[in-house]
Chains A and B, each alone.
Chain A
Amino acid sequence: MEKYHILDTLFEAIAIVDKKAKIVYSNHFFSTLFKASPRVIRKLETVFELFESHTPFPKDLFEKSLQGGDYVSEEIDLMSTEGDSPCHVVVKTTKLEDGNVLISFNDISIEKKLYDKYRLQLEELKKSHAQIVQADKLATIGELSAGISHEISNPLTIATGSMEILEEVLDSDMENKDEVVRTCIADVVESHARINSIILNMKSFLHSQTEEDEREYCDLEKVILDSIKFVTPSYNDHKVLLKSTFDEKDLVGLVNKVKIEQVIVNLLSNALDALVDAKVDSPEVQVEVSKDRDSNILKIRIKDNGPGVPDENKEQIFNAFFTTKDVGEGTGLGLAIASKIIEAHQGSLMIEDTDQGASFLIQLPFIEILSYTQNEMLQRARDVQDEDTLKVMVLDNEVQVLNILNKICADEGIVFMGSVNGLDALKILEDLSVDLIITDYLMPQMDGSEFSKRARELGVKSPILYMSAASNQDAFQRDKEKFNIAGMILKPFTKEEVIKAIYGALGIERNG
């Protein structure tokens, strides 16, 4: 029809149908796209007939439009009876003033092909990545095995050889039998010690911490507030509320600050994206940090009031490359990396079941336990006997003090256990014995005297040192007899003073 002929200039396939769905007009592109000549089109009773029955035309859209209004379909594949391959399209129907319905077909076959190609390449990338990781592991194991086999073969040869000679010598009646026997035995003992140290070195290499993995005592409140500062601009842009609560003061973790911030920022960004995508009313994200004293776990919870994570995805979200975002929006690596980081901190990252929204929970062990196990492993890797290793507990609510003393003890080969809270420290002392306790005198929840009193009541026999500014000398004098306080370290202290005080306190114990 004349009035429609301007539609011929368009790159979109258009068909105008009457109430009975018979085509009264179709543009050039319609013919091109569906490979239907005007003659074929004229012969159709309805527009639906042009398409294969197994690729159904959204008839309901047409019917709805007859009543009035515009309707758009989802992406569908339409196969023309005249065509040789389906077209990937979006269909829109509109009622025209003259009562006819205009159906336009937006051909996105090319986009779909590109998208499929992208997904395919992503799958291949995943496979390659997995292969590289595996090959790397094997290569490392291979290298290690070669190295160790080689190193161990010599002392092993000496040990087995010496044993064989020992057998010979015992059976014979040579002159200096005893001497030779002793030499053989000494050689075997030395060889075993050598092998032992090779294996310890290997262990320490495997567990060796690179600079990236270095951990410090950090005030978690500061870590979280810094992470929040990082995402605040985006939160403000989208007018999403971000709150944080801390159920205690002095929430301290033994963590790599940069890495933990990375995790928190990742979780906060995910929450923001979920809320924005779902267009939630009054979107809100909460960060809660708490201490569970029953299970000795530090909990960091990040929850939002968005649509939440569907049950079927809950298992997969921590897998590498899993993403529900659109092409180009996300790699799917964030949570996988976050999960690995938390695992490396001997903690866990998981998603909790909630009625509404998503809630991610990070759990970290208490610093007392974490610092003990970590330092214990380090000392063991240095081939030091258990009995000789000193274990010192330090109680101070300032993280800088803990970090400095941690370093001093590590350099001396002393296993260090840090704590910021008297209650937590006492709890640990119920199960673990230490050689020495150093406690700050002035702490907010429990001062040095109160701590010492309770420790002695618990039956803790280890010597206790007070650490404080000179003004607390009287407390020391008073408690010296009452709670058996072995000495005092004045703040500010030097490394030498601390070492002297530690060995001094232990020396006194041994003599007395």
Chain B
Amino acid sequence: MAVKLPLKSISSEKPSVLVLDDEDKICQIIRQFLIISGLFKNVVVADTVSIALMKIRNEQFDLIIVDYNLPDKKGTNFIEIVRKSKGYSKVKFLMISGFLDNRTLADVMNSGVKHVLVKPFTRMMLIKKVCEIMKIPNPYDKGDGLHQKN
């Protein structure tokens, strides 16, 4: 089933997203998925916490997608740091993880993150989750085609 590639539109209203995962290939794949969906003005990737923190200082993000299992810190630690940063109290988070057991889930919930996606996920699953979080319409919903953001 061919998906219509989105038209290039004026993107000033669209949100920006940061993707943090220690596997660069995964960042690239997620980036591709998000770009193709046309939902975001800007998709930035980082494969370490330090780089991610740097990017946050340079630019305001509306959504941060972060992997739970990072080599230097847990994803939840990174989220705590970000929340304390200026202007980031309202940012939305999506946590991705390779394996969710009770302990991991509890840790994620405790850090205030409500949205989790388990690897491996398809493009559809990712976009659906993202639209849920950002409260924007899903461009891939059956038969509706593209929607204008309100």
Contacts and interface: CB of A to CB of B under 8 A. Distances in A.
B123 A164 contact: yes
A162 B31 CA distance: 12
Interface in B1-58: 2-3, 5, 23, 25-26, 29-30, 32-33, 36
Interface in B123-141: 123
Contact of A146 (B32, B99, B123): B99
A152 B98 CA distance: 8
Interface string A8-25: 000000000000000000
Interface range, A side: 20 to 34
Contacts of B120: 153, 156-157, 159-161
Contact of B98 (A150, A164, A187): A150
A410 interface: no
A153 B32 contact: no
Interface string A134-163: 000000000000100111111011111110
Interface centre among A151, A152, A161, A168 (most CB of B within 10 A): A161
B88 interface: no
B123 A153 contact: no
B99 A157 contact: no
Contacts of A159: 120
Interface range, B side: 20 to 34
Given A150-B98, A150-B99, A153-B98, A164 B26 contact: no
A315 interface: no
A156 B118 CA distance: 11
Given A153-B119, A157-B119, A172-B5, A162 B29 contact: yes
Given A153-B120, A154-B119, A161 B99 contact: no
Contacts of A150: 69, 98-99
Contact of A153 (B2, B29, B99): B99
A165 interface: yes
Contact of B29 (A151, A152, A161): A161
A162 B120 CA distance: 12
Contacts of B121: 157
A150 B100 CA distance: 9
Nearest to A162: B29
Contacts of A162: 29
A127 to B, nearest CB: 27
B119 A156 contact: yes
B59 interface: no
Interface centre among A150, A152, A172 (most CB of B within 10 A): A150
Contacts of B101: 146
B122 interface: yes
Nearest to A190: B25
A149 to B, nearest CB: 4
Nearest to A147: B99
Contacts of B33: 161, 164-165
B65 to A, nearest CB: 13
A489 B77 CA distance: 63
A228 B25 CA distance: 64
A146 B99 CA distance: 7
A167 to B, nearest CB: 9
B22 to A, nearest CB: 9
B99 A158 contact: no
A160 B119 CA distance: 10
Interface string B51-74: 000000000000000000100000
A187 B118 CA distance: 20
Given A150-B69, A153-B120, A168-B3, A161 B98 contact: no
B25 A187 contact: yes
Given A153-B120, A171-B2, A158 B29 contact: yes
A188 B36 CA distance: 20
Contacts of B122: 160, 164
Given A146-B99, A149-B98, A172-B5, A154 B32 contact: no
B2 A158 contact: no
B80 to A, nearest CB: 22
Contacts of A160: 120, 122
B119 A165 contact: no
Given A149-B99, A168-B36, A158 B123 contact: no
Interface centre among B5, B118, B119 (most CB of A within 10 A): B119
A118 to B, nearest CB: 41
A157 to B, nearest CB: 4
A285 B10 CA distance: 96
Nearest to A161: B29
Contacts of B36: 168
A168 B122 CA distance: 13
Contacts of B32: 161, 165, 168
Interface centre among B5, B25, B32 (most CB of A within 10 A): B25
Interface centre among B5, B29, B30, B69 (most CB of A within 10 A): B29
Contact of A161 (B3, B26, B69): B26
Interface string A168-210: 1001100000000000000100000000000000000000000
Contacts of B29: 157-158, 161-162, 165
Contacts of A171: 2
A315 to B, nearest CB: 41
Interface in B99-115: 99, 101
Contacts of B5: 172
25 contacts: A146-B99, A146-B101, A150-B69, A150-B99, A153-B97, A153-B98, A153-B118, A153-B119, A153-B120, A154-B23, A154-B26, A154-B98, A156-B119, A157-B26, A157-B98, A158-B23, A159-B120, A160-B120, A160-B122, A161-B32, A161-B33, A165-B29, A165-B33, A168-B36, A187-B25
Interface of A: 146, 149-154, 156-162, 164-165, 168, 171-172, 187
Given A149-B98, A157-B29, A161-B30, 9 more contacts: A146-B101, A152-B98, A153-B119, A154-B119, A161-B26, A161-B33, A165-B29, A168-B32, A168-B36
